[in-house]
Amino acid sequence: MTSTPENIDSSIAATPNPAKPLLDSILDELGQEIVSGKVAVGETFKLQDLGDRFGISRTVAREAMRALEQLGLVASSRRIGITVLPTDQWAVFDKSIIRWRLNDEGQREAQLQSLTELRIAIEPIAARNVALHASTAQIEKLKALATEMRQLGESGKGASQRFLEADITFHEMILRYCRNEMFAALVPSISAVLEGRTAHGLQPDTPEHDALDNHDKLADALLARDAAAAEEASRNILNEVRNTLSPRR
């Protein structure tokens, strides 16, 4: 069962609700259908349609509609009902939408590519700032993670849960320690794409040596407080990811 999208109204997420597991399931099904195009842009439906289809109360149907609205997937009006919106209205940084796009074979490669390009624009600058501003203890954590990733990767565990957790934590820390709150806000999006690569079998058991080397180089540059080298190493990590994805397009 999937979790409710992060930006769902706080009154729904915070209040104990026995219907929440059902709501989560409905949101996941509807969200996937809209994102995949199974429910077309401009198509309309009403709360009663949701109630009839899923056997839910009007209250639960309304909560589902509100969650979809907050994700930019639909708009509602009393006269028309609920209308499916085009892609340019979607909350594309929301991890639920990212997951649904990765689940759709027709969008998976484009989603991976667009998020990788976002990372190329953001993470090297974040790495530079980490070299300048992070504490030694924080950087030592990054070095330990790079070492763990190398050990796992060289032992054929690059697609394991442990490697994924280390990889996610490494890149999350770069964004969190860079002292830029807007970069830090991208952590859920970046985590979602790393999870997606592993979930869809795109992460190799034995990563490229360059990928492991560049994580080590980044950690070493951070320890040396070499901002330029840290920025370059981060960019090299992401260029390797982009080059791996490019032949798929």
Measured CA distances, 185 to 131, 134, 164, 190, 236 (Å): 20, 17, 20, 10, 23
Q: Would the pLDDT of 20 be above 50?
A: yes
Measured CA distances, 174 to 123, 129, 194, 221 (Å): 7, 9, 14, 13
Q: How far is CA 48 from the centre of its chain?
A: 33
Q: Look up residue 191 and give its two tokens.
A: 């985590």
* pLDDT attached to residue 160: 94
Could you tell me the pLDDT band of residue 197, with boundaries at 50, 70 and 90?
A: confident
* pLDDT attached to residue 242: 87
Mean pLDDT for the stretch of residues 201-230: 94
Q: Would the pLDDT of 215 be above 80?
A: yes
As a whole number of angstroms, the distance between CA 92 and CA 57 comes to 29
Q: Look up residue 167 and give its two tokens.
A: 């990889």
Pairwise pLDDT comparison (201 vs 176), residue with the higher score: 176
- Kindly report, residue by residue over 126-182, the tens digit of the pLDDT: 999 999 999 999 999 999 999 999 999 999 999 999 999 999 999 999 999 999 999
* pLDDT attached to residue 237: 94
Residue 68 neighbours by CB under 8 Å, 6+ apart: 27, 30, 31, 34, 74, 82
* pLDDT attached to residue 182: 96
Q: What percent of the chain has pLDDT over 70?
A: 91
- Kindly report, residue by residue over 36-53, the tens digit of the pLDDT: 999 999 999 999 999 999
* pLDDT attached to residue 193: 86
Mean pLDDT for the stretch of residues 61-65: 94
Q: Would the pLDDT of 190 be above 70?
A: yes
Could you tell me the pLDDT band of residue 3, with boundaries at 50, 70 and 90?
A: very low
pTM for this model (two decimals): 0.82
* pLDDT attached to residue 244: 80
Q: What domains are there in the chain, each with its CATH number? A: 10-89 (1.10.10.10), 95-248 (1.20.120.530)
Could you tell me the pLDDT band of residue 13, with boundaries at 50, 70 and 90?
A: very low
